[in-house]
Structure 1
Amino acid sequence: MSPRFVELTRGASGLLLAFLSIQIPMLVGLIRSRARLAHLALSPVPAVALTLIMCIVITLLAPLLKTLGAPPDSGPEITVAFALFIAAGYAAGRLLIRKQSASASYYRRGAVVENAAAASRAPPAARVARANGGSLRCDGALTLAGLTVAEDDETKHFKVIGTTGTGKTTAIREMLRAALERGDRAVIADPDGGYLGRFYDGDRGDVILNPFEPDSVRWNLLGEIDNDYDVDQLARSLITDHGDPDRSWSEYARTFFIAVTQQALSSRVTDDRELYRLLAKASTAELRLLLAGTSAGPFLEEGNERMFGSVRSTASSAIRVLEYTTRQEGTSFSIRGWVKHGAARHSGGRGGVLFLPYKAGEIAALRSVISAWLRVAIFEAMGRGEGDQRLWFLVDELDALGEIDGLKDALSRLRKFGGRCILGFQ
């Protein structure tokens, strides 16, 4: 070690070298810990304190170093001293930020669980801005348990799970009320008519669809068909694969339904009564003539009587609702037409709700058709152009209806069409 360098380690120059040996590594540690600019600017203060401490430590270690063969002012002693200073400075820079991070809570990323009481004390504008990522636009903001729901989160859908008495329906009503007040539209599968009794507004153009309700419109199955492929979509909605492990009989029943419906349309049939008669009651001889040359024709060949009986039974069970709807005298109604021709208030419409109420005693008769109606509405919404339709699909007590065909796929696709789903589970 040169005498000149040893001279620099003494006196004021030595203190300066010691300080720099602490300060520079400390800055490196702070920068690597992503410290704020204020922390970097104030770093000389702890660096001075640490320099004094380390000078005392080195002085106390001098006898030990001498015993180990490193006399004072020797190269080994100075090297060890600088190594300790550098290590202490870097460690201090890392530890300072870690300690402050542990004692101070601040947002980095991810979801934030917020106390409802604290959030409710914030001014309304602040709550809306916080929920909407800083935007103060409040177009009838939704709330859930008193907390504002960000508009971008509405189309991510809501799943409300809880046992009886936990407040599922109360939470759903809170969101639905705000949505309807701002002019959104909704399709509601309504157990026991609870939502119908609370939210129905005839002046808004609300519609009731249930063949057992006196104020209900009359569903027109043939009115749902504008194109050939609509028949396939209806068949898929009405005749699902649930309860058919190998799906064969469901597929046969859909083939039969599609063929009969297409032939009926070709014959200018416009009345659901006639369609239901053909599907459920027409003789084998009549159907053999009607379906000759179609994909369902082989079902009626000689020797296939038992097979055709099973196919027809499956199809008839799926469209049994026509037995009830064809008795109604109400206004003819198309679900696809309701979705297509209506609009939320923000798009120039007047909103409106399509209620699908059902009582406990009606579940056996209506379970499958309510699921089918929901599927028709969902797929019609996805058949329109991309945009914010503000159309809600509410299914409380989903367990009572069972699986809705296509719902899982719809949840991932409805977002870009402005569809919003609320699903309630026990």
Structure 2
Amino acid sequence: MPLWIWVGVAVVVFNIFIWLGLKEHEFQLDLMRCYSTLWTWVGGDKYHLINLTLPGGKMVHLPMGYVPYHPAVVEAWEKTWRIVWATFVIASIVAAPVIMWFITWANKRGSDILKERHERGAMLVERPVLVREIKAHNQDQFSQECRSGTPQRNPAMVAQLSLPDRVELGIHTPYSIAGIPYPWRLEQSHTMMIGTTGTGKTTQLRSLVSQLRKRRHRAVIFDLTGAFMEAFYSPETDIVLNPMDARCAPWTLFDECRNYADFVSAAAALIPSHPDDKEPFWQNAARMLFIEMCIKLQELGETNNAAIAHHLMQADLKSIHSKLEDTVAGPLTTEKAARMAESIRSVLNVNGQALRFMPDPVPGGPPAFSIRDWISTQHRDGSIMFITGSYNDLELTRGLFTLWMDLAVNNLMRLPKTRDLRTWYLFDEVHALHALPAIEHGLQSARNYGGAFVLGIHSFDKLVSTYGLQNATALTGLARTKLILATADRTTAEKCSEFIGSREVRQMDEAYSYGYNNTRDASTLTPRKAIEPLVIPDDINNLPSLRGFVKFPDGFPATRVELQWKSYPDVAVGFAPRPEFKPTEYVSPEDRRRRAKRADEGGEGGTEHVPNRPVNGAKPVLEKPEPQRERSEAERAAAGIEINQPQALTTLAIPQPAGTGEQAVTSGPRGVSPGPQQGSLTPAALDGRAARAPMMAGMGNAVTGARSGQDMPEMGRSAGAERSADRTGDTVREDRQEDQVIRELRDGIAVDNRDHHHHGHDHDHGLDDGYGMAD
């Protein structure tokens, strides 16, 4: 091909010179010389006479062989040869660069033909290319918002303002991830960071926290390592929620839930069920029990964590049923199905036991904290809510952590809609919690309310084990920005490869054929299209620490990134243990009223007494010296067995009919004289004791039978055990009453009407709760 280029150039140049340099008669003389040479070469007669026309027009006769030697012909022929040599030189000069260009182009063309060619699909570009593309996009969007806003602003002037000034004016300033700015307002498209331990997830999350601190945005951070507390905690603005941390703010569920639906949502977060379980009966029943008890306690005014533990987790089944018998949870707590009831409560206790250790708000102590109020309070800019813990305590606190995160997400969506970023939700390890019921809805809708999620996971399989395959796939799809770091398992690497994307490429297949003769050898190129991943899973598995890939939504290409580790000075300890880690003490409403009264009187040493006037329309009852912990059925049975021992009997005071003013005292081996408590009994209380005289007489017979060697009724089984099949329903109820009386005899206290008439519709719960006399 280069030779043909030279020939072509030479022909063009030669024709130009001939047309410009030779006259017509000279061209004719050159042709006659060529004709004479050809005549001689074919053997023609050299002496054949011809007519030769000279330049002046004169015609001469001469032999054919003499034509090349005629002076006019020689002169014209020499001139033609000069033109030929000039053509050669000029053609070479002109054709050389053309030939070089052609050779270069041909080589490049050949290489391009053999190269894979991107047809469509995702792209992987160099980091500077992506940064330029995003900055250009953000500048266009920034200019449009400045011109279309109210009031209109000059983009050039706004760009010169400092970051705090822009934030103060409500002008969006993009965050950055791995040193690359987010495309305009795509922080709220949510982010997922995927990588095994030590690859850089926490490094990037701390970078985000540093950026939001500068912008004074709020955040909810789930911190299992204390890394965020150590670097960013400020006691003036931030909140710590961790029942095992001394800095934990007092909190109660009743400050978060205003109606029945709120309790339903909270119960679903506190008591989880696996998404693949279609009918989680035990979890649903435990939720119903928890919801109805919280509603009942709210009606009674006992809105604290200790009340939930006291009345639901520690109370006996009979006491629970007495409170919930008129609710939808009543059938779940009946003693006729005690085994099922205790199983349901065990599900609740396992998941909600952290509530027992959560500090309650107390007068004169730190103010109560409410997630609902914190989310809705607009003036607390820059505040961070740290939900902290450790892997050692996670079995105890996982349910409570899940509840708090769920409340934080749900309460955001109660706010008015906005395009501006309000609150970040940072989950360093989202699969460490139970499945959050609100997280999928939050990822779908939070961007409309100013929320941005960042989810960190170690492996996709772990996310599937928590949320199920379908929900895990939905979560990874809703978090559209991906930071992919090194992974430890093949499944996660394959998922990450899918997140980065695939492309369609055209490839050239080269085939060779060989023949017997060299002229039959050949090479054939055949184009072929194929779909292949941009990054194969093995490349992701073998990534070094702090290196990975970033993929943004909205058509931006993926790129390789390298994180920069930064050391943050410690401003606080990651975990400050409580001096005494024990369940929060339960204080009855009456005790709270007495303490408040003593505080109003200016001292704590005043005499305590039981008021002689009715409270809330109910009759006064005998006050216990201390509120005793409610016993399970097994404990009561054990107490009843002790009656067999003569030393266990106490004084039994049976009041005489009203008006006599006398009491019949039956003394056992350890008799006691009437003390101040018995002397302070009101007539109403005496009437209540007189009403129980026949029952106590029957109990005496039972005790006598026990002493004579007769078998006592079965009372040693655990709470929820079934009674013997041959006992009738009436006998069962009578035995339970006897069990209760035996316990009362052992405790040496009076019993109010609620113990044996808890099924009545005129029962006042507030009376017993107020005086600490609940079962």
Report the Cα distance in structure 1 between the residues aligned to 2:126 and 2:410, rounded to whole angstroms: 38
Identify which range, 290-299 or 382-391, moves more after superposition: 382-391
1:370 has 2:401 as partner: yes
* Pick aligned residue for 2:137 from 126, 130, 134: 130
Deviation, 1:404, is 2.2
Structure 2 residue matching 1:170: 3-state secondary structure: helix
Amino acid at match of 1:406: A
Deviation, 1:269, is 1.6
Report the Cα distance in structure 2 between the residues aligned to 1:147 and 1:389, rounded to whole angstroms: 19
Larger radius of gyration: 2
Deviation, 1:113, is 4.9
* Pick aligned residue for 2:185 from 130, 133, 152: 152
Residue in structure 1 matched with residue 426 of structure 2 by the alignment: 394
1:355 has 2:391 as partner: no
1:253 has 2:289 as partner: no
1:335 has 2:363 as partner: no
Amino acid at match of 1:178: Q
* Pick aligned residue for 2:257 from 222, 225, 230: 225
Report the Cα distance in structure 1 between the residues aligned to 2:281 and 2:330, rounded to whole angstroms: 17
Deviations 1:266-298 (A, max 9, x none): 112223211221110112222222112100111
Contact preservation (8 Å) 1:231, 1:258? yes
Deviations 1:93-127 (A, max 9, x none): xxxxxx9xx99xxxx9987755335666x6xxx96
Report the Cα distance in structure 2 between the residues aligned to 1:109 and 1:153, rounded to whole angstroms: 24
Contact preservation (8 Å) 1:356, 1:370? yes
Contact preservation (8 Å) 2:355, 2:400? no
Residue in structure 1 matched with residue 240 of structure 2 by the alignment: 208
Note closer, same or farther for the CA distance 1:148–1:230 as it changes in structure 2 (3 Å cut). same
Deviation, 1:302, is 3.6
Report the Cα distance in structure 2 between the residues aligned to 1:383 and 1:339, rounded to whole angstroms: 9
Amino acid at match of 1:333: F
Deviation, 1:327, is 7.0
Note closer, same or farther for the CA distance 1:143–1:178 as it changes in structure 2 (3 Å cut). same
Amino acid at match of 1:230: D
Report the Cα distance in structure 2 between the residues aligned to 1:206 and 1:112, rounded to whole angstroms: 42
Deviation, 1:142, is 0.7
Q: How many residues align?
A: 313
Deviation, 1:165, is 2.5
Structure 1 residue matching 2:196: 3-state secondary structure: coil
Contact preservation (8 Å) 2:189, 2:447? yes
Contact preservation (8 Å) 1:140, 1:179? no
Deviation, 1:168, is 1.5
Contact preservation (8 Å) 1:254, 1:315? yes
Amino acid at match of 1:368: G
Report the Cα distance in structure 2 between the residues aligned to 1:402 and 1:304, rounded to whole angstroms: 30
1:115 has 2:126 as partner: yes
Deviation, 1:300, is 2.4
Deviation, 1:139, is 4.1
Residue in structure 1 matched with residue 270 of structure 2 by the alignment: 238
Residue in structure 1 matched with residue 215 of structure 2 by the alignment: 182
Contact preservation (8 Å) 2:219, 2:425? yes
Unaligned runs of 5+ in 2: 1-108, 114-118, 144-158, 160-170, 459-775
Note closer, same or farther for the CA distance 1:131–1:163 as it changes in structure 2 (3 Å cut). farther
Note closer, same or farther for the CA distance 1:140–1:200 as it changes in structure 2 (3 Å cut). farther
Deviations 1:392-420 (A, max 9, x none): 11100223224322312321111111110
Unaligned runs of 5+ in 1: 1-98
1:421 has 2:453 as partner: yes
Identify which range, 410-419 or 348-357, moves more after superposition: 348-357
Residue in structure 2 matched with residue 11 of structure 1 by the alignment: none
Residues 278-297 of structure 1 mapped to structure 2, 5 A cutoff: 278-297=311-330
Structure 2 residue matching 1:208: 3-state secondary structure: strand
Report the Cα distance in structure 2 between the residues aligned to 1:127 and 1:190, rounded to whole angstroms: 31
Report the Cα distance in structure 1 between the residues aligned to 2:276 and 2:126, rounded to whole angstroms: 47
Q: What percentage of residue pairs aligned between the two structures are identical?
A: 28
**Greater per-residue helix proportion:** 1
* TM-score (normalised: structure 2): 0.38
Note closer, same or farther for the CA distance 1:309–1:195 as it changes in structure 2 (3 Å cut). same
Residues 257-276 of structure 1 mapped to structure 2, 5 A cutoff: 257-276=290-309
Amino acid at match of 2:394: I
Contact preservation (8 Å) 1:211, 1:218? no
Contact preservation (8 Å) 2:257, 2:263? yes
Report the Cα distance in structure 1 between the residues aligned to 2:412 and 2:321, rounded to whole angstroms: 37
Residue in structure 2 matched with residue 39 of structure 1 by the alignment: none
Report the Cα distance in structure 1 between the residues aligned to 2:139 and 2:286, rounded to whole angstroms: 49
Report the Cα distance in structure 1 between the residues aligned to 2:444 and 2:265, rounded to whole angstroms: 19
Deviation, 1:129, is 4.6
Report the Cα distance in structure 2 between the residues aligned to 1:243 and 1:410, rounded to whole angstroms: 17
Amino acid at match of 2:253: L
Note closer, same or farther for the CA distance 1:243–1:309 as it changes in structure 2 (3 Å cut). farther
Contact preservation (8 Å) 1:128, 1:141? no
Structure 2 residue matching 1:160: 3-state secondary structure: strand
Report the Cα distance in structure 2 between the residues aligned to 1:412 and 1:243, rounded to whole angstroms: 18
Residue in structure 2 matched with residue 319 of structure 1 by the alignment: 352
